[in-house]
Amino acid sequence: MILILDFGSQYTHLISRRIRGLGVYTEIVPFHFEIEQIKRKNPAGIILSGGPQSVYEENSPKVSKEILFLGIPVLGICYGAQLIAHILGGKVKRANVGEYGRTRIFISKDDPLFHDLPKTFNVWMSHGDIISDVPDFFEKLATTDFSPVSAFRYSNIYGVQFHPEVFHTEYGLDIIRNFVFLICKAQKDWSIQDFLNRKIDEIKNKDGGVICAVSGGVDSTTLAVILSRAKRKEELNFVLVDTGLLRKNEAENVRKDFLSLGIEIDVVNAEEIFLSKLAGIEDPEEKRKIIGKTFIEVFEKYAEEKKRVSEIRFLAQGTLYPDVIESGVSVSGTAHVIKTHHNVGGLPEKLGFELLEPFRELYKDEVREIGKILNIPPRILNKHPFPGPGLAVRIMGEVTREKLQILREAEFIFQNELSKWELYNSVWQAFCVLLNTKSTGVVGDSRRYGWVLAIRAVESADAMTADWARLPYEFLDEVARKIVASVPQISRVVYDITSKPPATIEWE
């Protein structure tokens, strides 16, 4: 496996996903991971990620020199490269001209890292500091017009100033492949089918009942199918909490989808309790927290009742690798909380369950692959993400029954049109947002003073960054017409053309 030490770069996960895509297992750990723990993991290679700080700042994240001399190949990327240079006596300073985006690189020396690559190509840069000099015992491997050392090597320690992991770096994947196979000599032994077989066996070997909350999304559906392959029906308890914040007919549709997969789920109608707790609440973070807390309360009550009639030992959750890392990184203090994400954390200790989280090491696209192997229909695997707090974060201000009804109708029309125009699968996510602003309209001969509805559709690879989707004008035109014609409380429809960053995908 390849171990990645994270210094807080937004691209750290990309490094990991690229390498897994090559068939080699990876793990991301915080930069301050103990040297003894590193040795125990016995990696074939170590990568030091990029990061937002400057190595010459007193409090910037550092690693001990020892890590570079374990006899394991090391690759530093951007901040990681600067850190290696800094530790070994090189000079890193503020650049007169920072390099951002597409930059031409010139390879000055043959090396396995650039095996089979042209002598010059375009790479993606994002740095305000440069490595201005390296000790004589280093080999300089590449330069750009503004960086005298864009890639270097000392023994089996490498550094590259650019980002080979991003899509826009030409030959980026080749550089990673060269590092992983030619330099680290890693074995190609990570396959999703093997992983799935192993997980099913592991679950089979654990005695006891399981309880699992489902939403009908990709992760929980795939999880439920895995559980149903590993356990007897009587041992499984699936529940969908209907928060009253779901889309039109959603709970019933999810129940039917599960039935078609041979799985029965309980639907707990908790609309009353959620809506009463949300009454009068306008602040987005407060809404999210109330929903998270109420979800746990409702789930606990369900679990207590189930426990009375059946023996349950495990709580299964579809936690993904980025969720695991995110909590770890937050602990090390390098990540900012932008939004409180809704999950069921904290449940197991209180209820005395052991956790079953078979996807803890996986990325979403890997879960989709598993779903495909398990014959889950593409209609379910390609579902857009839907946030845990549901429509509550798509109604600006207070959530009321009436507003939920208005948003549900508009959303239903939008989704139908997306499918009809065969646009659903061409975007990452698309949805409606009900603003707390009214606007004047005219219908027939009368004035209509109704709500403004925003439509949002984005393209993305991983929800970390997103661009607004260039949907055809004719499509937007039809959606707007149909919504205003069918939902009398809406007087105006607008299209959101903000990317992430600076905006987020959801409005709250």
Instruction: Return d(Cα 157, Cα 137) in angstroms, integer.
Output: 12
Least separation in angstroms between residue 426's CB and ligand XMP is 16
Q: Is 432 a catalytic residue?
A: no
**Per the structure block, which two tokens stand in for 193?**
């089918």
Which of 20, 177, 342, 403 touches ligand XMP (CB under 6 A)? 342
Instruction: Return d(Cα 335, Cα 9) in angstroms, integer.
Output: 10
Least separation in angstroms between residue 376's CB and ligand XMP is 19
For 173-194, the DSSP string reads HHHHHIIIIIIS-------HHH
339 near ligand XMP (CB under 6 A): yes
Catalytic residue (choose from 13, 99, 165, 170) = 165
Q: CB–CB of 270/241 below 8 Å?
A: yes
Coil, strand or helix at 322: helix
Q: CB–CB of 495/455 below 8 Å?
A: yes
**Per the structure block, which two tokens stand in for 125?**
């840069």
Instruction: Return d(Cα 209, Cα 222) in angstroms, integer.
Output: 18
505 near ligand XMP (CB under 6 A): yes
CB of 93 or CB of 341, closer to ligand XMP: 341
CB of 338 or CB of 442, closer to ligand XMP: 338
Instruction: Return d(Cα 128, Cα 52) in angstroms, integer.
Output: 10
Interface segment toward ligand XMP; rule CB under 6 A; list 86-94, 122-130, 254-262, 382-390 = 382-390
CB of 79 or CB of 431, closer to ligand XMP: 431
Which of 8, 61, 387, 450 touches ligand XMP (CB under 6 A)? 387
**Rg of the Cα atoms in the chain:** 26
Residue 185 sits at the vertex; the CA angle it makes with 183 and 186, to the nearest 5 degrees, is: 120
Q: Is 459 a catalytic residue?
A: no
Instruction: Return d(Cα 2, Cα 39) in angstroms, integer.
Output: 12
504 near ligand XMP (CB under 6 A): yes
Instruction: Return d(Cα 176, Cα 168) in angstroms, integer.
Output: 14
318 near ligand XMP (CB under 6 A): no
390 near ligand XMP (CB under 6 A): no
Instruction: Return d(Cα 170, Cα 150) in angstroms, integer.
Output: 15
Least separation in angstroms between residue 309's CB and ligand XMP is 30
322 near ligand XMP (CB under 6 A): no
Least separation in angstroms between residue 82's CB and ligand XMP is 30
CB crowding 309-327: b at 16 or more within 10 Å, else e: eeebebbbbbbbbbbbbee
Instruction: Return d(Cα 447, Cα 435) in angstroms, integer.
Output: 20
Least separation in angstroms between residue 404's CB and ligand XMP is 17
Interface segment toward ligand XMP; rule CB under 6 A; list 58-66, 83-91, 364-372, 384-392 = 384-392
429 near ligand XMP (CB under 6 A): yes
Separation of CA 329 from chain center: 14
> Total residues contacting ligand XMP (rule CB under 6 A)?
13
Least separation in angstroms between residue 77's CB and ligand XMP is 25
Separation of CA 70 from chain center: 32
Least separation in angstroms between residue 389's CB and ligand XMP is 5
Interface segment toward ligand XMP; rule CB under 6 A; list 121-129, 164-172, 385-393, 488-496 = 385-393
CB of 268 or CB of 505, closer to ligand XMP: 505
Which of 324, 463, 476, 494 touches ligand XMP (CB under 6 A)? 463
Q: Is 163 a catalytic residue?
A: yes
385 near ligand XMP (CB under 6 A): yes
The residue type of 481 is R
Catalytic residues, which ones? 78, 163, 165
For binding to ligand XMP (CB under 6 A), which residues are involved?
A: 339, 341-342, 385, 387-389, 429, 463, 500, 504-506
